[in-house]
Amino acid sequence: QLNHAFSRFVPRQFLQCLNKQSIADVKLGDQVQQEMSVLFADIRDFTTLAETMTPQHIFKLLNAYLSRMEPAIIENQGFIDKYMGDGIMALFSGAADDALNAGISMLQRLTEYNQHRDKSGYKPIRIGIGINTGSLMLGTVGGEHRMDSTVISDAVNLASRLENLTKEYGVSLLITHHTLARLNYPTEYSIRFIEQVKVKGKSKAVAVFEAFDGDEPEMRQGKLATLKLFESGLWLYHKRAFGKALQMFEAVLGMNPNDTVAQIYLQRCQSQKTKILSLPSSK
C-alpha cells in the first residue's frame, strides 16, 4: 500500500530510469543521462479564466481537466514528471511517436471534455502542447529534508519554449525537427513545416512543425486540403517572391479561412510588399 501511495507522487518509470527498486533507495543527487521526448501542455489564458472563479471551482476544473489528460500520457508509455498549476510536463523514454500520439490523444480528449462543458453551460478551454526530443539529465534535487525528481537539459527548455510558441501561431501542437527526425512512422501523421525560429536562450534556429491530427475534423481537413498551396506559399515567401506567396496564402484562406498560420504569413507578405514599395527607386 505504501509503495502504491508513493507511486502516485514519484512515478514508477522514474525509479526505473534511475535503476532503483523502491523510493527508499533514492538518494539526493542520483542522476542518469538519457534521451527522451519531453511534452509540455498548458491551458490558454488560464489566469484570466481563474479570475472569474472561486478557489474551489479552480481546483474542480483543474482536476477534471488533468484527470482526462493523464490517461492519454500513460496509455502512450509516458509518465507525468510534474504538474505546474494548469501545466503538465510529461516524459517518454521510448519512441518519439509515443509523445506525439499522447499529444494528439490529449487534444481529442479535450474536445470531448469541452462538449461536456458546453452542455453544462461553461466556456470551452484550449490548450497548447510543445514536444521536443533530446538528451537530458534525470535525477533528484533539493536538500536534506525535501527533495524532488526533475529533468534538466536544453531539450527540456526547448519543449517549454515550443509550448509558448503555440500561442503566437494560434495552433495546438508543435514539435521540433529533433522529434520529427526520431519518429518511426512520420508519414502516418498530418504534419506541416511552420518556420525556422530562434527561440529565447538559443543561438541556433530550430525548425518548428505543426502536427494537426488533434485539430477539430473540419480544421484538419481544411489544412490537409490546402497543404500543397501552403507549402508553395512558404517556398515563395522564403524566395522573397512576396507577391506570388501572397496569392498562395489568399488561396489557402479562401478554402480554410480560420488557418491562423496562413493568416500570419499573409500579413507578413503584405508587410514585405509595403516595405519594398516604400524603398526609394534607384536611378
pTM: 0.90
Count Cα neighbours of 22 within 13 Å in the Cβ-side half-sphere.
5
- Indicate the length of the chain as a whole number: 283
* Segment holding 246, helix H or strand E: helix 242-255
Cα separation, 212 vs 221, in Å, equals: 10
* Segment holding 161, helix H or strand E: helix 154-169
- Cβ atoms of 213 and 102 within 8 Å: the answer is no
Amino acid at 241: A
- Cβ atoms of 41 and 163 within 8 Å: the answer is yes
- Cβ atoms of 150 and 172 within 8 Å: the answer is no
- Cβ atoms of 88 and 177 within 8 Å: the answer is no
Cα separation, 243 vs 190, in Å, equals: 28
Query: Each residue's pLDDT tens digit in the chain (283 positions)?
Result: 666 676 677 677 777 777 776 776 777 767 778 899 999 999 998 888 888 888 899 999 999 999 999 999 999 999 998 888 899 999 999 899 999 999 999 999 999 999 999 998 888 999 999 999 999 888 878 887 777 777 888 889 999 999 999 999 999 999 999 999 999 999 999 999 999 998 776 678 899 999 999 999 999 999 999 999 999 999 999 999 999 999 999 999 999 999 999 999 999 999 988 877 666 654 4
